[in-house]
Structure 1
């Protein structure tokens, strides 16, 4: 993966884009720190399809959201409760 300073990526964007399409992802740095990656659209779609649903997507979904969020219930026995008796006054 080639690393491009942001100034070079801006000044030579066509070359930057061609490198992405022919050689794969291209890293952009700002002040020496990694800032972004330009990836071909086919790879982006593959990554999006492989991603797990986010918490926001799970909460907003109308399908069984609790399948992911709630652990299965144990098989332990429950204690027996006696019925409440009313007290006469």
Structure 2
């Protein structure tokens, strides 16, 4: 179901209840679809297989010895080393 923003604001508890029982509720602003109210079950289903930012960072490439040596062997740069 679609709700105009003003109606969604005035009947927010009804919007939430319908999201829980009937599925996602679309909110429009000046006739344009702008937002969606989801039940927590629908939201959790969307997020179920997504990795977090931390998972992505920790899941990066494994540093073998060559990579570690290349990083350790680079010169130390600070803002004082950079000519402006």
Class of the TM-score when normalised by the shorter of the 2 chains: 0.5 to 0.7
Q: Runs of 4+ in structure 1 displaced over 4 angstroms?
A: none
Which residue number in structure 1 is paired with residue 25 of structure 2? Answer: 26
**What is the CA RMSD across the aligned residues, in angstroms?**
1.9
CA distance in 1, matches of 2:14, 2:20: 10
Q: Structure 1 or 2: larger helix share? A: 2
Deviations 1:9-28 (A, max 9, x none): 00011111111111011000
Which residue number in structure 1 is paired with residue 9 of structure 2? Answer: 10
The CA deviation at 1:46 is: 1.1
Q: What is the TM-score normalised by the length of structure 2? A: 0.62
CA distance in 2, matches of 1:15, 1:62: 42
The CA deviation at 1:62 is: 2.1
Q: What is the TM-score normalised by the length of structure 1? A: 0.59
